[in-house]
Amino acid sequence: MKILVGLKHVPDTETKVKVADDGVSLVEAGIKFVMSPYDEYAVEEALKLKEAAGEGEVLLVCAGPESATATLRQGLAMGADRAVLIQDPRFDRADGLVRASALASVATQESPDLVLLGKQGVGTDESQTVPMLGELLDLPHVSAVGTLEIVDGRFTAHREIEGAVEVMEGSLPAILGCEKGLNEPRYASLKGIMQAKKKTIDVRSAADAGIEDGALGEGKMVVWEKLDLPAPRSGARILEGEIDDQVVELVRCLREEEKVI
Partner 1 sequence: MGANVLVFAERREGSLKRPALEALSAARSAADILGGSVVVLALGSGAAAHAEELGKHGADRLLTAEAPWLDMYVPEAYAATLAAAAGDVDAGLVLVPATSMGKDMAPRVAAALKTGMLSDVTDLEASADGTLRCTRPVFSGKANAIVAIPAARPAVASLRPNVFPVKETGGGAAETGSVEPALAEDKVRVRAVRLEKPAEAELDVAEASVIVSGGRGIKGAENFKLIRELAEPLGAAVGASRAVVDAGWIAHSHQVGQTGKVVSPNLYIACGISGAIQHLAGMSSSKVIVAINKDPEAPIFKIADYGIVGDLFEVVPKLAEAVRNLNS
Ligand X SMILES: Nc1ncnc2c1ncn2[C@@H]1O[C@H](COP(=O)(O)O)[C@@H](O)[C@H]1O
Ligand Y SMILES: Cc1cc2nc3c(=O)[nH]c(=O)nc-3n(C[C@H](O)[C@H](O)[C@H](O)COP(=O)(O)OP(=O)(O)OC[C@H]3O[C@@H](n4cnc5c(N)ncnc54)[C@H](O)[C@@H]3O)c2cc1C
The listed partner (partner 1, ligand X, ligand Y, none) that binds 231, CB under 5 to 8 Å by sort, is none
* Distance separating alpha carbons of residues 64 and 130, to the nearest angstrom: 17
Choose one: 73-81, 162-170, 190-198, 207-215; the region binding partner 1 (CB under 8 A): 162-170
Comparison of 15 and 195: residue with beta carbon closer to partner 1: 15
Q: Which of 18, 27, 6, 227 is nearest to 100 (CA)?
A: 6
Q: Residue 141: which region, alpha, beta or left (left: phi > 0; alpha: psi -120 to 50)?
A: beta
Query: Min. distance of Cβ 34 from ligand Y in angstroms?
Result: 10
Comparison of 181 and 219: residue with beta carbon closer to ligand Y: 181
Contact with ligand X (CB under 6 A): which of 47, 63, 148, 150?
63
Query: Min. distance of Cβ 127 from ligand X in angstroms?
Result: 4
The listed partner (ligand Y, ligand X, partner 1, none) that binds 164, CB under 5 to 8 Å by sort, is partner 1
Burial of 108 (0-12, 13-18, 19+ CB in 10 A): exposed
By CB under 6 A, how many residues form the interface with ligand X?
25
Q: Which of 71, 89, 31 is nearest to 206 (CA)?
A: 89
* Distance separating alpha carbons of residues 90 and 146, to the nearest angstrom: 31
Q: Which of 39, 45, 41 is nearest to 64 (CA)?
A: 39
User: Long-range contact list for 43-46, CB < 8 A, 24+ apart?
Assistant: 43/5, 43/7, 43/75, 43/78, 43/80, 43/116, 43/185, 44/78, 44/182, 44/183, 44/184, 44/185, 44/186, 45/116, 45/148, 45/178, 45/182, 45/183, 46/3, 46/5, 46/80, 46/114, 46/116
Q: Which of residues 19-58 bind ligand X (CB under 6 A)?
A: 36, 38-39, 42
Query: Min. distance of Cβ 37 from ligand Y in angstroms?
Result: 5
Burial of 160 (0-12, 13-18, 19+ CB in 10 A): middle
Q: Which of residues 120-139 bind ligand Y (CB under 6 A)?
A: none
Contact with ligand Y (CB under 6 A): which of 15, 25, 37, 193?
37
Alpha helices in 37-123 (DSSP H): 37-53, 69-78, 96-110
Per-residue mark of binding to ligand X, 121-160 (x: CB under 6 A): x--x-xxxxx------------------------------
Query: Min. distance of Cβ 172 from partner 1 in angstroms?
Result: 9
Q: Which of residues 11-30 bind ligand Y (CB under 6 A)?
A: 13
Contact with partner 1 (CB under 8 A): which of 134, 148, 185, 188?
134
Contact with partner 1 (CB under 8 A): which of 8, 158, 209, 211?
158
Q: Which of residues 211-230 bind partner 1 (CB under 8 A)?
A: 221-230
Residues that bind ligand X (CB under 6 A): 6-8, 36, 38-39, 42, 61-64, 91, 96, 99, 103, 117-118, 120-121, 124, 126-130
Site residues (vs ligand Y, CB under 6 A): 13, 37
